[in-house]
């Protein structure tokens, strides 16, 4: 049984894991985590919103949807030089993965995409794992990103197939799955997870985890976001996520997808160090660092450094899984760095 990564989980199995008594669940998750991952090692990623707001989609949680009236700093696609400056700063502060987000429904084959490809090249040359989240992609676009040096692509399922239409009506669950497939075909590492606190039932969380854990290959990283309710969005008055629900979600993801990086994502500003420690115990091994996520606040580098010190956590080096995943050009990059 042990040491086998499974893609054939049933809903019933996942249900019984998710609903275990909390301390049993955390103990099991911590045990699995120790079997498969370097204990105390946490990946530090930095996000940058390279194109903010004005999105045509209607994702009910999102401050960047043009149709909601939110107080964000809308801006067109940033200049490459500016983005590389941010990336270099993030690297200096200890981040090994840099993720660029654009409020697009989908990528179009235009000048903006060419500019993003240049950014990807530039960040890769800094020796960081480059990630993008740009909305829907075709297989060809995924391929072009891969050729530019893209390491990972983030595209979340967000919630269950059943709950999806309550949250988003401008695209379907199958659209999402199609992009995930296109990313996989290009040999790019997959980052795919969801949000809790959207008004979903426990069954929806279980169903979403089931979809993720039964993909032909598990995503290499699984972000678990707690809704950040933003004034002006339809979900602005949603109840704050219960930290124990977050812990359950992380622990279940860890047990189902033992080798994935499970990322404690949006919502950390509302968590104490004690609460975050529980999430790490439950198998979270990745965070977003830096004052801002895309548009909402996040703990400061200083606060996170203090937390890492206190809990004895170590930042994970870049490209650690290289041999298991894609892209030999990253190896060359590392070699260049080493001899520079």
Given the residues 263, 268, 279, 326, the one annotated as active site: 263
Q: Are strands 41-51 and 189-191 parallel, antiparallel or unpaired?
A: unpaired
In angstroms, what is the minimal distance from the CB of 261 to ligand DTB? 12
CA distance 247 to 253: 10
* Catalytic residue status for 115: no
The region, left, alpha or beta by phi > 0 then psi within -120 to 50, assigned to residue 314 is beta
DSSP state of 227: P
**Is residue 262 part of the contact set for ligand DTB (CB under 6 A)?**
no
* Six-digit token string for 94: 């200890």
**Is residue 133 part of the contact set for ligand DTB (CB under 6 A)?**
yes
Residues 38-97 that bind ligand SAM (CB under 6 A): 61-62, 64
CA distance 55 to 162: 24
* Catalytic residue status for 131: yes
Nearer to ligand SAM, 91 or 155 (CB): 155
Distances (CA, A) of 93 to 209, 245, 289, 312: 33, 31, 9, 18
What's the residue count for the chain? 340
Interface map 88-127 toward ligand SAM (x if CB under 6 A): -------------x-xx-----------------------
**Is residue 233 part of the contact set for ligand SF4 (CB under 6 A)?**
no
In the list ligand SAM, ligand DTB, ligand SF4, none, the entry touching 155 (Cβ below 5 to 8 angstroms by class) is ligand SAM
**Is residue 62 part of the contact set for ligand SF4 (CB under 6 A)?**
yes
* Catalytic residue status for 279: no
Is the distance from CB of 64 to CB of 99 less than 8 angstroms? no
CA distance 48 to 277: 25
Interface map 93-112 toward ligand SF4 (x if CB under 6 A): ----------x-x-------
In angstroms, what is the minimal distance from the CB of 100 to ligand DTB? 9
Helix residue ranges per DSSP H, the chain: 11-18, 22-36, 80-92, 111-125, 139-148, 161-167, 173-185, 202-213, 243-256, 273-281, 301-311, 329-339
Please list the residues that pair with 102 across neighbouring strands. 51
In angstroms, what is the minimal distance from the CB of 228 to ligand SF4? 12
Question: Tokens 């995503």 correspond to what residue?
Answer: 219
**Is residue 276 part of the contact set for ligand SF4 (CB under 6 A)?**
no
Q: Read off φ and ψ for residue 286, nearest 5 degrees.
A: -160, 145
* Six-digit token string for 250: 């992380």
H or E element at residue 99: strand 97-102
Given the residues 45, 131, 279, 326, the one annotated as active site: 131
Residues 282-301 that bind ligand SAM (CB under 6 A): 294
Options 35-43, 59-67, 114-122, 147-155: segment touching ligand SF4 (CB under 6 A): 59-67
Nearer to ligand SAM, 279 or 294 (CB): 294
* First-last CA distance in the chain: 46
Given the residues 59, 132, 192, 279, the one annotated as active site: 59
Question: Tokens 């930042």 correspond to what residue?
Answer: 315
For residue 285, the Cα-to-chain-centroid distance in whole angstroms is: 12
One residue of 124, 160, 211, 225 binding ligand SAM per CB under 6 A: 225
Residues that bind ligand DTB (CB under 6 A): 47, 63, 101, 133, 154, 156, 193, 223, 225, 228, 265-266, 293-296
Please identify every residue annotated as catalytic.
55, 59, 62, 99, 131, 191, 263
Residues that bind ligand SAM (CB under 6 A): 61-62, 64, 101, 103-104, 133, 135, 155-156, 158, 195, 225, 227-228, 230, 266, 294
């Amino acid at each position: 049984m042990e040491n086998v990564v499974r893609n054939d989980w049933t809903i019933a199995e996942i249900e019984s894991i998710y609903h275990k008594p909390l301390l049993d669940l955390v103990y099991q998750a911590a045990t699995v985590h120790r079997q498969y991952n370097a204990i105390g090692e946490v990946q530090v990623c930095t996000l940058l919103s390279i194109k903010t707001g004005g999105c045509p989609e209607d994702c009910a949680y999102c401050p960047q949807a043009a149709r909601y009236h939110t107080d964000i700093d809308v801006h067109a696609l940033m200049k490459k030089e500016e983005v590389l400056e941010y990336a270099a700063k993030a690297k200096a502060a200890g981040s090994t993965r840099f993720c660029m987000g654009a409020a697009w429904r989908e990528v179009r084959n235009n000048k903006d995409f060419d500019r993003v490809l240049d950014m990807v090249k530039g960040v890769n040359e800094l020796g960081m794992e480059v990630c993008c989240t740009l909305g829907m992609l075709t297989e060809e676009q995924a391929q072009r990103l891969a050729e530019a040096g893209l390491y990972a692509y983030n595209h979340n399922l967000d919630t269950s197939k059943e709950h999806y239409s309550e949250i988003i009506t401008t695209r379907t669950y199958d659209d999402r799955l199609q992009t995930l497939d296109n990313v996989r075909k290009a040999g790019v590492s997959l980052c795919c997870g969801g949000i809790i606190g959207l008004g979903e039932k426990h069954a929806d969380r279980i169903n979403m985890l089931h979809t993720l854990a039964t993909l032909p290959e598990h995503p290499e990283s699984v972000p678990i976001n707690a809704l950040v309710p933003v004034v002006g969005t339809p979900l602005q008055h949603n109840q704050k996520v219960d930290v124990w629900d977050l812990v359950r979600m992380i622990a279940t993801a860890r047990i189902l997808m033992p080798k994935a990086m499970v990322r404690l994502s949006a919502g950390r500003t509302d968590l104490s160090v004690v609460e975050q420690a529980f999430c790490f115990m439950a198998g979270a091994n990745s965070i977003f660092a830096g004052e801002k996520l895309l548009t909402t606040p996040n703990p400061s580098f200083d606060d996170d450094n203090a937390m890492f010190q206190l809990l004895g956590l170590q930042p994970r080096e870049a490209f650690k899984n290289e041999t298991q995943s894609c892209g030999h050009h990253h190896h060359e990059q590392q070699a260049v760095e080493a001899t520079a």
